[in-house]
Amino acid sequence: MKIKTVAFAISNTDLKKCPTDGKPEFAFIGRSNVGKSSLINLITGNKKLAKTSSTPGKTQLINHFVINDEWYLVDLPGYGYAKASKSMRSNWEKFISDYLMKRETLMNIFILLDARLDPQKIDMEFINWCGEKQLPFVLVFTKIDKLSSSELQRNLAKFKKEMLKTWEEIPPVFTSSSISGFGKEPVLNYIEQILKIC
Ligand code: GTP
Ligand code: MG
């Protein structure tokens, strides 16, 4: 799919204030610092669109970006931010879970996972929660430039094995690197396929 136009639409913490024009949208979520904003910038070919930072907890709001005037990419705050206070966390949980469960135009959730890490409890909990709520999602393993292909294969296999303890099947899996640009086309093609049927 060709990205012709990209524009920031709105940021907020309130589902009611999200765009109401009914365009389909795709959300990016995962642990703080996993590379959600960087992946959005990679996909849109605009390094300055979503704010990135080496300090976890950069994205604090639900950010809508409108693509080709037809659909939205949504950058979400990360979970598992160590410095977040309890009240910040429960606030996060409330507004993100509200958004994920009630947003009717949400077509798919991209759950990002750090390709370097063994399966993390917090990610499995989030994935299982999406399963319970029957939310459509796929997995994207990020930062693959930081490991060899054999390490990547090993970590992917470990993750699949862990998931198959509770899941009957594995959802689509993507890999990405915002450094090399790997992963851009497969993710965009996936979005294009969904847009065709919605
Ligand atoms: P929060 O908004 O804090 O939840 O983080 P985020 O998930 O949006 O992560 P962000 O895109 O801000 O990236 C966090 C850090 O990881 C930044 O320093 C990025 O440059 C780096 N990073 C992101 N993706 C990659 C990648 O594919 N490879 C490498 N090497 N670094 C990456
Ligand atoms: Mg971010």
- Domain tally for the chain? 1
Give a yes or no: residue 16 inside a domain: yes
Q: Which of 143, 79, 81 is nearest to 116 (CA)?
A: 143
1 within some domain: no
Is the residue at 27 inside a domain?
yes
Ligand 1 pocket list (CB less than 6 A): 32-38, 52-54, 56-59, 77-78, 142-143, 145-146, 176-179
- Å from CA of 198 to ligand 1 middle: 30
Domain that holds residue 172: 6-197
Q: What percent of the chain has pLDDT over 90?
A: 80
With residue 148 as reference, give the H or E element that holds it.
none
Answer whether residue 83 shows pLDDT above 80: no
Q: Partners of 139 in the beta sheet?
A: 111, 173
- % of the chain exceeding 70 in pLDDT: 97
* Model confidence at 82: pLDDT above 70: no
Answer whether 51's CB lies under 8 Å from 58's CB.
Answer: yes
Residue type, 15: L
Instruction: Supply the CATH number for residue 165's domain.
Output: 3.40.50.300
Starting from the CA of residue 79, give the closest ligand. 1
pLDDT at residue 58, as a whole number: 77
Answer yes or no: is pLDDT of 81 > 80.
no
- pLDDT-based confidence at 84, cuts 50/70/90? low
Question: Predicted confidence band at 198 (pLDDT cuts at 50, 70, 90)?
Answer: confident
CB 55 within 8 A of CB 71: no
What is the per-residue pLDDT for 108?
Answer: 98
In a domain, residue 15? The reply is yes
In a domain, 30, yes or no: yes
Expressed in angstroms, the distance from the first to the final Cα of the chain is 16
Q: Strand, helix or coil at 191?
A: helix
Determine, yes or no, domain membership for 140.
Answer: yes
Report which bound ligand comes closest to the CA of 83: 1
Q: What confidence score (pLDDT) does residue 56 get?
A: 80
| Any domain includes 48 | yes
Nearest CA to ligand 1 atom 26: 143
The model's pLDDT over 120-136, given as tens digits with 9 standing for 90+, comes to 999 999 999 999 999 99
Mean pLDDT score, 128-146: 97
In the prediction, which pLDDT does 73 show?
A: 98
Output the residue whose Cα is nearest ligand 1's atom 13: 35
Q: What is the pLDDT of residues 3-29, one digit of tens each?
A: 999 999 999 988 899 999 999 999 999
**Residue 175 near residue 141 (C-beta atoms within 8 A):** yes
Residue owning the nearest CA to atom 22 of ligand 1:
35
The answer as to whether 178 is a domain residue is yes
| Centre of ligand 2 from the C-alpha of residue 56, in Å | 8
Atom of ligand 1 nearest to the CA of 77: 4
